[in-house]
A and B are shown apart, each in its own frame.
Chain A
């Protein structure tokens, strides 16, 4: 009897312990589940062969796949370079854990996703390796930001160098300018010149003068680009500015069949901004539109300028039915010194300067283009 009662007491004790272990297990599982469900990072588990057996909710965010879609696939398949990722996994098998920075994966949508990956071996009670667990932290955004920052830095540096060069070049250009002016006067006064020679020399001097003007144009634009001018903000009617822009460019379309339509929201469009700088932007964009239409042949050329007021934002779109911007040029449109025009026609400064101005005014300059159909540039600026 006595042994019976002690046995039952033991049993009760074991049952209690089991119950408490069960609770503990339940809590641990809930805790892990919570981490797996809520983490924005991709947490995965593979078997010993590297085949995926678990894939956290974060994986959907990071790579776009759900567990069902990747279950049974080797994890290295998801990497941009499966071979080098497989070697990371192999390294983990030797060391028990591994960290790989900046590993490129491919998102379900096709774009590259960069992650910092840490891997750890999963072992059973006997200490045998049964798989691995990995955590992937998405660093694509940071990486992009960092690249942007480097780019901005580089641009600023280029700007400073360019301004220095422009400034230095202005002096010799000034000398050439004066020398050619003096030469013109000497030629005008010269007695012994044949009419042919005189004409020839006058032509040469005129060309020198024209080319110094060209240099001057470039250096002044460049210096204007670099300087952080104070904005002269005041209230004005944007519609007036746009009308003036079109007036200014009337001579450009005089002998073409290009039509410029103005589709404005009703009434005046008051904004508080820098009218002079905005006009510079519009002149540039409309002139580009005219060139695009002319380059296409100018037949039935049409440029439409639209205005729109959206809450506190003003939008001006300039649409042309020119040839559009070929794909290979599209990401270079705002690049400094990038031009598709023949030498002497474009400086590659127009649109970068426009973008700079619009940004300084707190807005954004963007474009949409379809090859063969046309291009629309859109200036968005705050109304105040």
Chain B
């Protein structure tokens, strides 16, 4: 379960009971899970902690899934979002203008399907992260920084991995 332990998941849904059972199952499988019951709460959590994958409900009172996802991405650009929708049509979800999501799943979602989507999203995040890391390292090498610059650069690299 070593790869799963490393996936940090943020669940966002106003349906508290749903998140209760979903987090229990994901935690049991060894994922790191945080639950937020509104878009606003999710933003606050994301400001404090880095995540790899967010699972966001499309329809929530207050900040809806589209906006939540956009804001989360502003805070953590590499974060991959899976959007859950009760709409019969994924198409209609796509039309609402959030091409940013990694994947859309229909509610009620099949658990295995969700886990598979989370793993795929994580893989994509890892790829993006490595690319970004390599770019930054190349930048550092090219610029030939002094001690102060290296310290700053390492801070930046840590930020990419979400381990500051």
Contact = CB atoms under 8 A, between A and B. Distances in A.
Interface of A: 163, 166-167, 170-171, 173-179, 181-182, 185, 212, 215-216, 219-227, 229-230
Interface of B: 15, 17-18, 21-22, 24-25, 28, 86-89, 91-92, 106-109, 111
B25 A170 contact: no
A130 to B, nearest CB: 69
A179 B17 contact: yes
Contacts of A174: 15, 18, 107-109
Interface centre among A170, A178, A216 (most CB of B within 10 A): A178
B88 A178 contact: no
Nearest to A216: B108
A175 B109 CA distance: 10
B89 A171 contact: no
A226 B89 CA distance: 10
- Of all A-B residue pairs in the complex, the 10 with the closest CB atoms, nearest first, are A223-B88, A174-B108, A178-B21, A170-B86, A182-B21, A177-B108, A224-B88, A175-B18, A173-B108, A175-B17
Contacts of A216: 106, 108
Contacts of B25: 178, 181-182, 185
Given A170-B107, A181-B111, A216-B108, A175 B88 contact: no
Contacts of A230: 91
Nearest to B22: A178
Nearest to B18: A175
B18 to A, nearest CB: 5
A181 B26 CA distance: 11
A189 to B, nearest CB: 8
A222 to B, nearest CB: 7
Nearest to B85: A170
23 contacts: A171-B15, A171-B86, A174-B108, A175-B17, A175-B18, A177-B108, A177-B109, A177-B111, A178-B18, A178-B21, A178-B22, A179-B17, A179-B21, A182-B21, A182-B25, A185-B28, A212-B108, A216-B106, A220-B106, A223-B86, A224-B89, A225-B88, A227-B87
Contacts of B92: 227, 229
Given A185-B25, A185-B28, A178 B87 contact: no
Given A178-B108, A181-B111, 12 more contacts: A167-B86, A181-B21, A182-B21, A182-B24, A185-B24, A185-B28, A216-B108, A219-B88, A221-B88, A223-B88, A227-B88, A229-B92
Contacts of B108: 170, 173-174, 176-178, 212, 215-216
A175 B111 contact: no
Contacts of A222: 88
Contact of A171 (B24, B87, B106, B107): B107
Nearest to B14: A171
A118 B12 CA distance: 69
B18 A167 contact: no
A177 B86 CA distance: 14
A167 B87 contact: yes
B139 to A, nearest CB: 44
Contacts of B109: 174, 177
Contact of B88 (A166, A179, A182): A166
Contacts of A173: 108
Contacts of B87: 167, 223, 227
Nearest to B111: A181
